[in-house]
Structure 1
Amino acid sequence: MDSSTDEIAYEFHPYFRAYKNGRVERFFGADRVPTSEFGSSDGVSSKDVVISAETAVSARIFLPSETTQQQPQIKKLPVLVYFHGGGLFMGSPFCSTYHNYVSSVVSRANIIAISVNYRLAPENHVPAAYEDCWSALKWVTSHFQFGVGTDPWLNNYADFDRVFLAGDSAGANIVHNMSVQADTDHEGLNGVKLSGICLIHPYFGRKNGGVDKFWVFVCPDTSGFDDPRINPAISKRLSRLGCSRVLVCLAEKDNLRERGMFYCESLRESGWVGDLEIMETQSEDHVFHLFKPNSDKALALMDQLVSFINQYKVSSL
């Protein structure tokens, strides 16, 4: 028997394990919640769409059920593009954790949301995840001109004057990198400008330098702390972040808290002209809101995100 089948190359207990022979076991994000295109108990409809058959990029779209009963173009809704966390090696918009969370945000904020399913390491190392998320963002904004896009929900109900990005942990890292790219490749988004971004418990490099094993695992050819994807402070493009409003959510007991503060400091020192909001939850750990979604503090965090989206000036229709 080949003993290599049982040799562990990488483990994130109790959520993930990769073996030296290439086999991968994911114990988080592997379940799949079915969609409910005609509505569910929380008043939110959902469906899955394929964005790229070639790379298998897909997404789950969420829409308040009552919206589909209205005539198209009567009321346009803010757009939220969500990138799930999981270190870039686990997680899924289809699993119960993220399906339930994004559905709850849609219900509370009365928005349309697109939760992106991007390729994961180690089967697909970085930059695959970033490429997939940019492809998804371009697909979403391809609906900017009414009737041009392939999805009727986005064609009929999305307000592209109010487009937001949000994500947690590694997903928050993606949010930042997509916003940076949005500034340098504005035409790639069909002229759509981002209204704001929300980074929840973001994953970046350590303030005192260096990167951890998670980043090296998903990006073996990284240059380390000199890689702007993991260290935004060295990026000359940070001052041109492609939005005017940023919300960063931190948790007091999160071991990534210092990295989140480092991001905020770097953004302020970059010369970026915009509004930065920081919310810190006391006595809580990393992504606590996903695992204790009905707790008072998790609901307060969600309310902050909802307020961040809805306080944006509504465009005339």
Structure 2
Amino acid sequence: MDTGASEVAHDFRPFFRVYKDGRVEKYKLIDHVRPVPAGLDPATGIETKDVVVSPETGVSARIFARTAGGGGGGPDRKLPLLVHYHGGGFCAGSPFDSTSNGFLSAMVTQANVVAISIDYRLAPENPLPIAYEDSFAALKWIAGHSDGSGPEPWLNQYADLGRVFIVGESAGANIGQYVAVRAGVAGIRVKGMLVVHPFFGGKETDEMYKFMCPTSSGLDDDPKLNPAVDPDLPKMACEKVLVCVAEKDWLRNRGVKYYEALCGSGWEGKAELVEAKEEAHCFHLFTKSERAEQLIKKMVDFITMD
């Protein structure tokens, strides 16, 4: 009898487990998260559109804009572009679910921006660093619209590619910071970055990350897990960075360490650290509260104020 189909080799709760025959079974992280179709939301006036970033890899994205009545900008009034990388442990999450749509709709409305969320390929089916490669390739695709003649009309019409902001939460914050550094090396301009409740590595081996990324040690000698050891960190493209942590988040200290490493790296931009008291990981995505509103407002202010 083949027991490989039923015996668990690795159990990486709450994300996925791996059976001895190699089959991967993902857990449902949050019951109330649901898919959201693209289209016009009459309640917010925000229209969404799904686009293909790379036909070769199948990577796509969702654009958020207020297209009615010129609210999304136009040739004479283009708006800042917010590039979003979703969280989910590199193996879950989507631009097309209610979590991403709720957050980005709030940012589009309150910060008066156009937003695009990248549907990078998920691990472990697509081993890391594929998610990083997809995400940077997407930023380069976006940058191809800088002269207003790129392949996506909404970006040409509505987005100011001279005012690009990157935002990511959890694993998406990790990806976003990687992309920002690579952008700096490549000479791609990024105005600012919001690093929200970021995932980075610690002193002990991260077995789940190591499983998803076979080329990684899973330790803090990996620049993707510990940007402090990345010699290109001072070249980060951003002019300014907002690092957000939460007091009851188990990743809090790693976010603080990242902020300190960035400030001490020789990078010439301006960094700010903000902490949400009495709150846990990514609370602002799943709860409506005064502290969630305060965090969103802080992010909005970071984008709108020079």
* Fold conserved between structures, TM > 0.5: yes
Q: Describe the superposition over 1:36-72 as per-residue Cα deviations: whole angstroms up to 9, x where unpaired.
A: 1x44312211011111122111001000243557783
Q: Is the 8 A contact 1:26 1:90 kept in 2?
A: no
In 2, the alpha carbon distance for the partners of 1:17 and 1:222 equals 19
In 2, the alpha carbon distance for the partners of 1:7 and 1:68 equals 57
1:160 is displaced (CA, Å) by 1.3
Q: Which residue of 2 aligns with 1:3?
A: 3
Q: Describe the superposition over 1:200-233 as per-residue Cα deviations: whole angstroms up to 9, x where unpaired.
A: 0011112xx2342232122122133211111111
Q: Which residue of 2 aligns with 1:167?
A: 168
Q: Which residue of 1 aligns with 2:294?
A: 300
Equivalent residues in 2 for 1:34-113 (5 A)? 34-36=37-39, 38-66=40-68, 68=70, 72-113=74-115
Are 1:214 and 2:217 an aligned pair?
A: no
AA in 2 matched with 1:274: G
AA in 1 matched with 2:37: P
Equivalent residues in 2 for 1:1-317 (5 A)? 2-20=2-20, 21-28=22-29, 31-36=34-39, 38-66=40-68, 68=70, 72-146=74-148, 148-186=149-187, 189=188, 193-206=189-202, 209-223=203-217, 224-292=219-287, 294-312=288-306
Q: State percent identity of aligned pairs.
A: 45
Aligned CA RMSD, in angstroms, stands at 1.9
SS in 1 for 2:81: strand
Q: Which residue of 2 aligns with 1:315?
A: none
The 3 A distance-change label for structure 1 pair 124 and 71 is closer
Q: Is the 8 A contact 2:73 2:158 kept in 1?
A: no
In 1, the alpha carbon distance for the partners of 2:197 and 2:71 equals 36
Q: Describe the superposition over 1:120-158 as per-residue Cα deviations: whole angstroms up to 9, x where unpaired.
A: 111111110011001111111111112x11111111111
AA in 2 matched with 1:202: P
Query: Where do 5+ consecutive residues of structure 2 fail to align?
Result: none
In 2, the alpha carbon distance for the partners of 1:291 and 1:309 equals 22
TM-score after normalising by structure 2: 0.93
Q: Is the 8 A contact 1:126 1:219 kept in 2?
A: yes
SS in 1 for 2:123: coil
TM-score after normalising by structure 1: 0.90
In 2, the alpha carbon distance for the partners of 1:130 and 1:82 equals 13
SS in 1 for 2:147: coil
Q: Is the 8 A contact 2:73 2:79 kept in 1?
A: no
AA in 1 matched with 2:210: V
Q: Is the 8 A contact 1:59 1:117 kept in 2?
A: yes
In 2, the alpha carbon distance for the partners of 1:70 and 1:274 equals 29
The 3 A distance-change label for structure 1 pair 55 and 71 is closer
1:10 is displaced (CA, Å) by 3.5
In 1, the alpha carbon distance for the partners of 2:71 and 2:88 equals 36
AA in 1 matched with 2:250: N
Q: Is the 8 A contact 2:72 2:114 kept in 1?
A: no
1:31 is displaced (CA, Å) by 3.8
